[in-house]
Structure 1
Amino acid sequence: MTSAVERHGAFTFKGNPVTLLGPEIKVGDTAPNFTVLANNLTPVTLDDSKGTVRVISVVPSLDTGVCDAQTRRFNEEAAKLDGVTILTISVDLPFAQSRWCGAAGIDKVQTLSDHRDLSFGLAYGVAIKELRLLSRAVFVVDANDKVVYAEYVPVVGDHPNYEAAIEAAKAAK
């Protein structure tokens, strides 16, 4: 991994503190651009959804209980959030994401893979140095690329504050 800001103990994985790479993004910051892969292996950037409110849901792996529940919850909410783009980003391979979405009936959230170069993880400070996974987090970015909500969930097994993220997305419209 490239050299980046290291935030020791910023996240707990299975009871052990780990190091997050990258800066802590805060409300009011300009959202950093990134390049991740869609399920069909095409590159996707933040700029691709410019002009819309974006909810960026970050999970370690779709094949785990809390990550599964988090992605399903945002998929349900997407139907009620007209004009809001919801992205779920993990380091799962695009093929695995596609299979999981099909099996789970996920059709309103775009799953994206950061497996190739951790572009998103390093830009948003969610890359776990010791595991090459992403920590759990939620960001809401307005149509002008300003971060209006940022939540770094400190413990891997905890859920994010869904209601706060959804309210931030509604308020940013």
Structure 2
Amino acid sequence: MKVFGIAGTSGSGKTTLTEELIRRFTEDGVRVAAVKHTHHGFDLDTPGKDSYRMREAGSTDVVLVSESRLVLMREYRAAPEPELPDVLALLSPCDVVLVEGYKRSAVPKLEVYRPSRGKPPLWPEFPDVVAVASDEPLTTPLPRLDLNDVDAIYAFIRDYLTRSPEITVPQR
């Protein structure tokens, strides 16, 4: 599988861009998986439902299965948060994985950067940033893409992935 990240500060437009990129890859017949990393706690379950009760009783993994989807909920409790390779190992076979977040992971990534938000760019600190998409002019040694031109961003990522090796994920 090929893995490419979308990184940036909160509110920069990472999710909107990732959604559009998924749509374009899918329209081109590419099997896409998405990984979203968040620093905020979340719960997809509903208190009182069977799966919630199973987790609350102490089950480490609860799998919900229906005719149209499967969801794995895993409680880490005191264990450390999984690293990106651990998450990739859980995915079904696909052609491309788009990773939103995991900015410290060693995968190539595009930074979504909006100088007007008043935060410093990531690219000077994170060597795996290979390009920057911005809605304002800026000076960077990296390729700079117009954040409003999703077709150009998609073409850049598609071409980058064409030249990149497959990532081997350890099997569980």
TM-score of the aligned structures, taking structure 1 as reference length? 0.32
Higher relative contact order (CA 8 A, sep 6+): 2
Which TM-score applies when normalising by structure 2?
0.32
Higher strand share: 1
Q: Tell me which structure has the larger Cα radius of gyration.
A: 2
